[in-house]
Amino acid sequence: MDNQLVESIVNEVIKRVQEETCFEVEASGKHVHLSRKDIDSLFGEGYQLTKAKDLSQPGQYACKERVTLIGPKGSLHNVVVLGPERKESQVEVSLTDAVVLGVPVPVKESGKLEGTPGIVIASGRNVIRLDCGLIAAQRHIHVKAEDAEKLNVTNGEIVQVKVNGKRPLIFDDVLVRVSPNYETYMHIDYDEANACGFMKGTKGKILK
């Protein structure tokens, strides 16, 4: 076997190994998760959210319903509601969105709402005020349990990820969330997506 053929085979093996440890990156825009109580208050008693399309994470979906977020300085219109309903309402925006609203928004892990600011939410018919729940979501990777060993990560670990967009960069402080109920995707917000030149199909790789 000549050296050129050996080198070709080795390069192909390396390429396949690298592809197996890469994962797709998704950019997540501003959105709202609502509790049963807040769905009733905004849309009417017993109202059922209307699924528009499924998302990458099993059981999660975008709804046809849209709301307006109202802050001290400005508003964000046409904000999508995600289903299914949650135990507590949560609103996720980028730090640029937070400037528009005029609210200092902390970077938090989803679901960690203690000490977060509130926000006013309006539907076409009603208005509510959340006492807390407004966050900029910490960038994170949903990892399917069977992929955790391949990626050499554990639940709750903080890692660095190189994202190969049009302007490749390394993201620090990326939270790993492992569950058998997940599909493996990294989630960043639109500020982060713009910074790395994100486009659909962009891949990331954990740096160890």
Q: pLDDT for 46-60, tens place per residue?
A: 999 999 999 999 999
Global confidence as pTM:
0.88
What pLDDT does residue 7 have?
Answer: 53
Q: What is the 3-state secondary structure (H, E, C) of 94-162?
A: CHHHHHHHCCCCCEECCCCCCCCCCEEEECCCCEEEECCCEEEECCEEEEEHHHHHHHCCCCCCEEEEE
- pLDDT of residue 204 exceeding 60, the answer is yes
Which has more confidence, 146 or 5? 146
What pLDDT does residue 14 have?
Answer: 41
Report which of 190, 135, 154 is spatially closest to residue 25, judged by C-alpha positions: 190
Region 84-113: what's the mean pLDDT?
97
The percentage of the chain sitting over the pLDDT mark of 90, rounded to a whole number, equals 88
What pLDDT does residue 1 have?
Answer: 56
- pLDDT of residue 108 exceeding 50, the answer is yes
Region 165-181: what's the mean pLDDT?
97
What pLDDT does residue 15 have?
Answer: 45
- Name the 3-class secondary structure at 40: helix
Cα–Cα distance measured from residue 159 to residue 143, given in angstroms and rounded to the nearest whole number: 13
Cα–Cα distance measured from residue 86 to residue 2, given in angstroms and rounded to the nearest whole number: 61
pLDDT tens across 50-92, in order?
999 999 999 999 999 999 999 999 999 999 999 999 999 999 9
Contacts of 143-150 with CB under 8 Å at 24 or more apart are 143/176, 143/177, 143/178, 143/179, 143/182, 143/184, 144/178, 144/179, 144/180, 144/182, 144/183, 144/184, 145/178, 145/179, 145/180, 145/182, 146/180, 147/23, 147/184, 148/178, 150/20, 150/21
User: What's the chain's average pLDDT?
Assistant: 93
Cα–Cα distance measured from residue 107 to residue 190, given in angstroms and rounded to the nearest whole number: 14
pLDDT tens across 24-50, in order?
999 999 999 999 999 999 999 999 999
What pLDDT does residue 167 have?
Answer: 95
Q: Which pLDDT band holds residue 4 (cuts at 50, 70, 90)?
A: low
